[in-house]
Copies of this chain bind each other. A is one copy, B any other.
C-alpha cells in the first residue's frame, strides 16, 4: 500500500507536509487534489478527508488529516532526523507551543487576508475595501512581531539552533504573502532572515513547492523575499 500524500501546492499546510516528506527522503505517492477544480469535495476524497481539506495522508490502512499531526506521525513512524521533533523536553515544548499558537494567531489571519484580497473580489466582482484589507494586514503584522519577539528572539530557529516542524509550518504559512504585491516582511528583519534560513535548510524542495507562489507573486529572486 505504501504512503500516499494528498495535497495542493496552493495550500500552505500542504506545502509544509510535502517539503517535510521530501526533505526527509520519505518514499511516497504524491496525490494532487486540485482545490480549484473542487476535487477535495468529490466523494472518494471525502472518504480520506471528511473535512474536505488538504493535506491528508494514507499510510497503508491508516488515514489522517491535520498537517502538524501528520508531520509528527511521519517523524515518529519513519524515524526522521530528531531536529524535526526534538526529544529534549524543553525544545520539543517550544516546537509544540508554536504549533499550538499558530492556528488562531497566524493561520487564521493569513487566511483572512488571502480571503479578502483574493476571494472577495472574485465573488463580488468588486475590489475589497482598502480599510478591511489594512485591518487584516495589521493582524498579520502583529503575528510577525510575536514570532520575532517571542518565538525566535535571538535564536536561529524556534527550538534553538536547528530547524523543526514548527519553523516549516510557520514559514509555509507566511509564504502565502509572497503571492501578493507587497513587501510583507518590511520592518521584520528577523522574520525575513528566518524565512531564508528555513528555505535554505529545505531547498531545493522549498523552492519547488513554492513555484506557483513565486509565479503568482512575480517573485524573481526568492533569496530577496
Contact = CB atoms under 8 A, between A and B. Distances in A.
A81 to B, nearest CB: 17
A89 B76 CA distance: 7
B76 A92 contact: yes
A216 interface: no
Interface of A is mostly: helix
Nearest to A13: B100
Contact of A69 (B50, B93, B150): B93
A187 interface: no
Interface residues of A, number: 32
Contacts of A70: 93, 97
A207 interface: no
Contact of A104 (B67, B96, B108, B146): B108
Interface of A: 50-51, 62, 64-70, 72-73, 76-77, 89-90, 92-94, 96-97, 99-101, 103-105, 107-108, 146, 149-150
